[in-house]
Each structure stands twice: as C-alpha cells, then as structure tokens.
C-alpha cells in the first residue's frame, strides 16, 4: 500500500478523505508543508498539499530527494507551487473543478452582506439594538458588475449576477465565445463597474491587478469582492482606497499574507500584520478565512478527485489533472497535456 503524507490537515479533511480512501495509507500532519516540515514526507510515496503550503524550489528539491514523485494539490489554484522547479522531478496534480458553485455563491454572499450590512445588523440585534441608522443598502438590479476571469467560477458567478438582473461585463484574455456576456477591455471594466469580482488565477500577469492606479481609475464608491487569491490585490492600496472613500466596501475571502494566519485560531494572540488588523476593523470590510471551497459537495469532490488523481498516477495512466509550467491558464492550458494525450513529462 502506498503511503501519502497529507499536510495542513483539518478535521473536515480527515472526514472526507477517510470516507473516500480505499487504496492508501494516509499520514495526516497538522503542520503546513514548508522548509521546516518537509522531512515529514520521508517514507511517503506521494504528498497531498493545500493552498497555504509552500512548494518552492527548495521544498520541491527536498521532496524529490526523499523520493516523492507526485504532489496532489487538493485545490484548483497552484500558484504556491514552483511548477518550473517541479518539472521532470515531481508531477503536480490538482482538482480543477470541485464546485465552482461553492466559490461563486460565497462571492455573492459577501456582496449581499456588505450591501445590506447583514454583519452589522446581526451584531446590533444581538444587543437588542433595533435601530436602522447606517444600514441603507441599494437594489442590485441594473448595477454594473465587472467580472475578471470567466472560467468555471466566473461563469457561475455571472449566472447568479444575471439572476439579480445586474448588468454584467467581463474581462478575460481568453474570452469564451459561448458565454452570454459583454467582454470589455480591462480599463473599461474598471471605469464602468459599480462592483468588481475577481475570478482569475494568480499569475505574473494578474499579481496586483488591483493596485493604486487601477483603483484610481475605478468609479467612486466601487465595491471589490475577492474570492480568488490575495495576491491579486495590493493590500495597502486597497486600505488607502477604503480609508479615503474611493472604495465603498470590500469582501475578501483571501488575503495576500494569509499563509501563516488563515485556517488557524488567533483569537488569543495579537496579530502582527497591521494591514490585516486595520482591514478587519473597518465596518465596510468583511473578511472570511479562505472558505470559498467549504461546502459538503466541494469537500466530497476534492477528496474523491485528489484520490483518483493519485490512482491515475500509480497505475501509469494519463494524468487528466496534471499541470506543469508549460501549461497555461485558459484554453491553452489543455494543449500541453491533452494535445498528445501524454503526461506533462
Ligand atoms: P478557471 O481556470 O476555470 O478560470 C480562470 C479564468 O481566468 C480563465 O477563463 C482564464 O482565461 C482567466 N484568466 C487567466 N489570466 C487572466 C488575466 N490576466 N485576467 C483575467 N482573467 C484571466 O479557474 P476557476 O476554477 O474559475 O478558479 C478561479 C480562481 O479561483 C482560481 O485560480 C483560484 O485562485 C480561486 N479559487 C478560490 C477558492 C476559494 O476557496 N476561495 C476555491 C477555488 C478556486
């Protein structure tokens, strides 16, 4: 039986992976995978990792030295993996689509909560304060919502937004001709949108796509929703925009410095990250701890697909969900591996 080193384990991971696992001995480690913990993978045939694990060149090389030949990400994003360093050493697998609904629905939840100030109303009524002052929202119908990235999650989000009769515009370098949405250049999207929702991956091109100058070009009072990756937003620029009123509100399920903070309980500790502390303290910001994937359906799909990915690897089959540095995001993504029906290397 092959042994798997499973990093950054939470109780819900064990529940779903134990339910689907038939073929492997899984060693669950609570610690994140990084330079200090990589030795835990000794004796393992494979590693299962998550979004805040560190898979830089050093860790990849250490894993390769330990004889690990495959890392199965239990996520769709893999920006935390140095795929170039892994090439020809370690196969990187992922779960491309476990539930786009889970993430898109959380994005809309953040938007609706911010708009109608549910977070404030909840706190007030618990204190028997039934005042409505400061809780005025707006009708969603007819508002322009700009969607950046029209892949799996972006498409579900667009459908949901259309359900509210919103005017949806989108930007994607690989527009989907089958999608009923108006694509516009990024600059126009920034200029026209009352609300922005980010659904693109974190890449060199998208890093800090929301920055001081792009914020400057946005409508006054824009609302920004990010359920994608923290690195898409330059946090200091976001904070300035919120403080000077340019940005009306922000809903963040991800944060650029989340790796050592999200998923853990710091309620008894003083957080050293001043930007995060300020963002948390603002009444027009809702931060959730990267929980877009946290639905029963998504967790089931993550567990079953991750284990199927490993089954394919160990039975020498084509790796449907492999990624490498030659694969690109968007339609070209499928060229590298699907064109020749072979493994990436
Ligand atoms: P996807 O690959 O189906 O779609 C991504 C889309 O982004 C593609 O259409 C691609 O062409 C587009 N894109 C690529 N570069 C772009 C750019 N420069 N500008 C605009 N668009 C660009 O991915 P998905 O399943 O829809 O997931 C999107 C992202 O959501 C993931 O990369 C991941 O970071 C994030 N995510 C977050 C959670 C969570 O729990 N919060 C869960 C899953 C995924």
Out of 201, 262, 290, 335, give the residue to mutate to test ligand 1, the one with the largest number of ligand atoms within 8 Å of its CB.
Answer: 201
Range with lowest mean pLDDT among 128-132, 220-224, 250-254, 324-328: 324-328
Question: Is 330 close to ligand 1, i.e. is its CB under 6 Å away?
Answer: yes
Nearest Cα residue to atom 30 of ligand 1: 228
- As a whole number, mean pLDDT of residues 11-15 equals 97
Q: pLDDT tens digit string along 270-305?
A: 999 999 999 999 999 999 999 999 999 999 999 999
Which residue, 24, 56, 21, is CA-closest to 38? 56
pLDDT at 336: 73
Q: What size, in residues, is the chain?
A: 345
pLDDT at 308: 98
Out of 12, 13, 75, 76, give the residue to mutate to test ligand 1, the one with the largest number of ligand atoms within 8 Å of its CB.
Answer: 76
Out of 74, 172, 177, 200, give the residue to mutate to test ligand 1, the one with the largest number of ligand atoms within 8 Å of its CB.
Answer: 200
Task: Give the DSSP letter string of 313-327.
Answer: HHTT---TTEE-TT-
- As a whole number, mean pLDDT of residues 203-214 equals 96
Banded model confidence at residue 333, pLDDT cuts 50, 70, 90? low
CA–CA separation, 250 vs 224, rounded Å?
A: 5
pLDDT at 106: 98
CA–CA separation, 43 vs 50, rounded Å?
A: 20
Structure token pair of residue 272: 């050293």
What residues form DSSP beta bridges with 251?
225, 286
**Structural element, H or E, at residue 70:** strand 70-73
Q: Which domains does the chain have, with CATH numbers?
A: 2-98+296-340 (3.40.50.720), 100-287 (3.40.50.720)
CA–CA separation, 58 vs 37, rounded Å?
A: 12
Cα 130 to ligand 1 centroid, rounded to whole Å: 40
Q: pLDDT tens digit string along 168-184?
A: 999 999 999 999 999 99
Q: pLDDT tens digit string along 160-169?
A: 999 999 999 9
pLDDT at 331: 60
List the catalytic residues.
Answer: 229, 258, 290
Cα 132 to ligand 1 centroid, rounded to whole Å: 38
Banded model confidence at residue 328, pLDDT cuts 50, 70, 90? low
What residues form DSSP beta bridges with 285?
250
Cα 150 to ligand 1 centroid, rounded to whole Å: 8
Q: Are 63 and 85 spatial neighbours (Cβ–Cβ below 8 Å)?
A: no
Question: Is 251 close to ligand 1, i.e. is its CB under 6 Å away?
Answer: no
What Å distances lie between residue 189 and 53, 145, 164, CA to CA? 33, 9, 19
Q: Are 142 and 166 spatial neighbours (Cβ–Cβ below 8 Å)?
A: yes
* 337 has a pLDDT exceeding 80: no
The alpha carbon dihedral of 7, 12, 15, 19 has a sign of: negative
Q: Are 281 and 272 spatial neighbours (Cβ–Cβ below 8 Å)?
A: no
The number of the ligand 1 atom at minimal distance from the alpha carbon of 293 is 40
- HSE value, Cβ hemisphere, 13 Å, CA-based, for 60: 17
Cα 203 to ligand 1 centroid, rounded to whole Å: 10
pLDDT at 78: 94
Q: Are 171 and 189 spatial neighbours (Cβ–Cβ below 8 Å)?
A: yes
pLDDT at 327: 79
CA–CA separation, 296 vs 320, rounded Å?
A: 24
- Classify 148 as helix, strand or coil: strand
- Classify 186 as helix, strand or coil: helix
Question: Is 290 close to ligand 1, i.e. is its CB under 6 Å away?
Answer: yes
In angstroms, how far is CA 165 from the centroid of its own chain?
26
- As a whole number, mean pLDDT of residues 121-126 equals 98
Q: pLDDT tens digit string along 78-122?
A: 999 999 999 999 999 999 999 999 999 999 999 999 999 999 999
């Amino acid at each position: 039986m092959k042994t798997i080193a499973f990093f950054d384990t939470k109780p819900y991971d064990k529940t779903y992976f134990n339910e689907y696992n038939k073929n492997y001995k899984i060693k669950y480690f609570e610690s994140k995978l990084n330079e200090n913990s990589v030795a835990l993978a000794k004796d393992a045939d494979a590693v299962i990792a998550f979004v805040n694990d560190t898979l830089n060149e050093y860790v990849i090389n250490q894993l390769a030295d330990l004889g690990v030949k495959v890392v199965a990400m239990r996520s769709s994003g893999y920006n935390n993996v140095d795929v170039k360093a892994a090439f020809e050493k370690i196969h990187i697998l992922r779960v491309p689509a476990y539930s786009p609904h889970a993430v898109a629905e959380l994005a809309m939840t953040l938007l609706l909560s911010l708009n109608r100030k549910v977070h404030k109303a909840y706190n007030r009524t618990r204190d028997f304060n039934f005042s409505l002052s400061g809780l005025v929202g707006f009708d969603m119908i007819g508002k322009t919502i700009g969607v950046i990235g029209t892949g799996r999650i972006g498409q579900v989000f667009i459908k949901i937004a259309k359900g509210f009769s919103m005017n949806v515009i989108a930007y994607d370098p690989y527009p989907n001709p089958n999608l009923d949405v108006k694509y516009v250049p990024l600059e126009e999207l920034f200029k026209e949108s009352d609300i922005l929702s980010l659904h693109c991956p974190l890449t060199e091109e998208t890093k800090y796509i929301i920055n001081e100058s792009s914020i400057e070009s946005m409508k006054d009072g824009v609302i920004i929703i990010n359920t994608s990756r923290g690195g898409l937003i330059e946090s200091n620029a976001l904070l300035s925009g919120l403080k000077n009123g340019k940005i009306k509100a922000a809903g963040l399920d991800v944060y650029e410095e989340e790796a050592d903070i999200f998923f853990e309980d710091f309620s008894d500790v003083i957080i050293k990250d001043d930007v995060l502390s300020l963002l948390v303290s603002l009444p027009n910001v809702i931060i959730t701890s990267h929980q877009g994937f946290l639905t029963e359906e998504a967790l089931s799909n993550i567990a079953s697909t991750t284990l199927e990915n490993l089954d394919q690897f160990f039975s020498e089959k084509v790796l449907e969900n492999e990624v490498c540095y030659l694969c690109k995001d968007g339609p070209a993504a499928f060229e590298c591996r699907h064109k020749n029906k072979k493994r990436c290397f």
